[in-house]
């Protein structure tokens, strides 16, 4: 009886449709874990493709081509874990794979964002100087900002190097800097709604 059961499991594990279903399920589980673990990854559009990926920037409608990112995941998952429905070990493996995937993907993603920003002229160089609130405002001036119907800005997410987190979060803007921020947002608000009216007229 045991011999027959083992033979049955061996045959099932070798069927292509089972292997495909298993791979798809595992990939989906890893992707969900990566979404939960990394806010930048969860907020990005993801698709599988071959060949260069075409990216159109929103600022100047510039088209650039990027090679697809390759995500490397290092993990060990034995067939017996699946066959014995060892859920705990399986989920530990999924978590290991997601951690490895994030570690592999994030440097590529930030480099890709940098390339897009450089192509559209949205890079602000601090030239080796400490980060200040004016540096943040310089970057804000170069960005496309969207607004809600009530005029409130939909501010972009700021991603910070953990080593500089405390320094940046503890920056206290002056009254003059706050006024400059309002001037920047007022101009962008006017531009945003002017473009929106133009699109409606078309």
**DSSP states of 53-118 as a string?**
EEEE-TTT--EEEEPPPPPP------HHHHHTT-HHHHHHHHHHHHHHHHHHHHHHHHHHHHHHHH
Length of the chain, please? 202
Which of 125, 129, 97 has its CA nearest to residue 33?
A: 97
Structure tokens at 87: 């859920």
Residue 63 to residue 136: CA distance in whole angstroms: 26
Q: Say yes or no to pLDDT of 16 above 60.
A: yes
Residue 81 to residue 45: CA distance in whole angstroms: 32
Q: Is 116 helix (H, G, I), strand (E, B) or coil?
A: helix
Q: Say yes or no to pLDDT of 1 above 50.
A: no
Q: Say yes or no to pLDDT of 41 above 80.
A: yes
For residue 131, what are the CA distances in angstroms to 122, 134, 137, 157, 178?
Answer: 17, 8, 11, 17, 16
Q: Say yes or no to pLDDT of 35 above 60.
A: yes
Q: Say yes or no to pLDDT of 59 above 90.
A: no
Residue 53 phi, psi dihedral angles, 5° rounding: -95, 130
Q: Say yes or no to pLDDT of 149 above 80.
A: yes
Confidence of residue 176 (pLDDT cuts 50, 70, 90): very high
At residue 200, the pLDDT reads: 57
Which of 58, 38, 30, 67 has its CA nearest to residue 157?
A: 38
Residue 155 to residue 137: CA distance in whole angstroms: 12
Residue 112 to residue 67: CA distance in whole angstroms: 9
Give the mean pLDDT of the chain. 79
66: which strand partners? 53
CB 153 within 8 A of CB 185: yes
Structure tokens at 119: 């192509």
């Amino acid at each position: 009886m045991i011999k027959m059961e083992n033979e049955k499991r061996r045959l099932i594990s070798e069927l292509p449709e089972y292997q495909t279903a298993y791979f798809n399920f595992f990939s989906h589980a890893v992707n969900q874990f990566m979404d939960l673990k990394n806010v930048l990854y969860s907020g990005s559009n993801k698709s599988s493709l071959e060949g260069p990926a075409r990216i159109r920037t929103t600022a100047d409608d510039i088209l650039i081509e990027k090679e697809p990112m390759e995500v490397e995941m290092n993990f060990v998952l034995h067939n017996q874990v699946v066959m014995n429905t060892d859920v705990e070990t399986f989920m530990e493996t999924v978590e290991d794979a997601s951690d490895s995937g994030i570690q592999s993907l994030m440097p590529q993603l930030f480099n890709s964002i940098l390339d897009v920003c450089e192509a559209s002229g949205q890079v602000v160089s601090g030239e080796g100087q400490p980060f200040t609130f004016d540096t943040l405002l310089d970057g804000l001036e170069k960005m496309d900002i969207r607004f809600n119907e009530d005029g409130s800005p939909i501010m972009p997410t700021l991603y910070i190097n953990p080593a500089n987190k405390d320094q940046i979060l503890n920056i206290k803007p002056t009254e003059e800097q706050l006024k400059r921020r309002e001037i920047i947002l007022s101009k962008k608000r006017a531009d945003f709604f002017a473009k929106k009216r133009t699109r409606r007229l078309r």
